[in-house]
Structure 1
Amino acid sequence: MQATPRPHTLTLRFKQHRTTILLEVEPLQKLSEVRALLLHAVQQTHLAGNLNGHSIPQNPDEIKLGRAVDRHNLKLGFTFIDKGQPEEALTGKGKAKASATTKSPTSQVKDCPQGVGLKTGDVVAFKFASQDETGEVGDAIVDMEGDTVEQWDVLIPTVEDTYGDEGADEGIALDED
Structure 2
Amino acid sequence: MPPKQAKPDSRASTLLFKKHKTTVLLSLQPHEPLTAVKEKLLEALKSRNMLEINGDPLPSDSTLIEFGVPVDRSDREKGWRLLQGDGEVTTNTAAKKASSGTLLAAGLDNGHSVAFRFRKPGDAPEGDEPDPDIERDDPGWDVMIPSFDDDEE
Range of TM-score over shorter length: 0.7 to 0.9
Is 1:148 the counterpart of 2:135? The answer is: yes
Q: Which amino acid aligns with 2:117?
A: K
Instruction: Report sequence identity in percent.
Output: 30
Distance in 2 (alpha carbons) for counterparts of 1:74 and 1:131: 28
User: Which residue in the other structure is 1:127 paired with?
Assistant: 117
Contiguous gaps of at least 5 residues in structure 1 = 87-106, 134-141, 166-177
Relative to structure 1, the CA distance from residue 25 to residue 48 in structure 2 (aligned partners, 3 Å threshold; closer, same or farther) is: closer
Listed one character per residue, the Cα deviations across residues 58-80 of structure 1 (whole Å, up to 9, x for unaligned) are: 10000000111121110111111
Q: Which has the higher helix share?
A: 1
User: Which residue in the other structure is 1:79 paired with?
Assistant: 81
Is 1:42 the counterpart of 2:32? The answer is: no
Contact 2:87 2:103 in 1 (8 A): no
TM-score scaled by length of structure 1: 0.64
Q: Which amino acid aligns with 1:15?
A: K
User: Which residue in the other structure is 2:146 paired with?
Assistant: 157
Secondary structure in structure 1 of the residue aligned to 2:17: strand
Distance in 2 (alpha carbons) for counterparts of 1:40 and 1:71: 27
Distance in 1 (alpha carbons) for counterparts of 2:122 and 2:79: 17
TM-score scaled by length of structure 2: 0.73
Contact 1:5 1:24 in 2 (8 A): no
Contiguous gaps of at least 5 residues in structure 2 = 1-5, 89-98, 124-130
* Alignment size in residue pairs: 128
Q: Which amino acid aligns with 2:113?
A: V
Relative to structure 1, the CA distance from residue 59 to residue 72 in structure 2 (aligned partners, 3 Å threshold; closer, same or farther) is: same
Distance in 1 (alpha carbons) for counterparts of 2:121 and 2:70: 19
User: Which residue in the other structure is 1:20 paired with?
Assistant: 23
Structure with larger Rg: 1
Q: Give RMSD over aligned pairs.
A: 2.7
Distance in 1 (alpha carbons) for counterparts of 2:79 and 2:7: 30
Secondary structure in structure 1 of the residue aligned to 2:24: strand
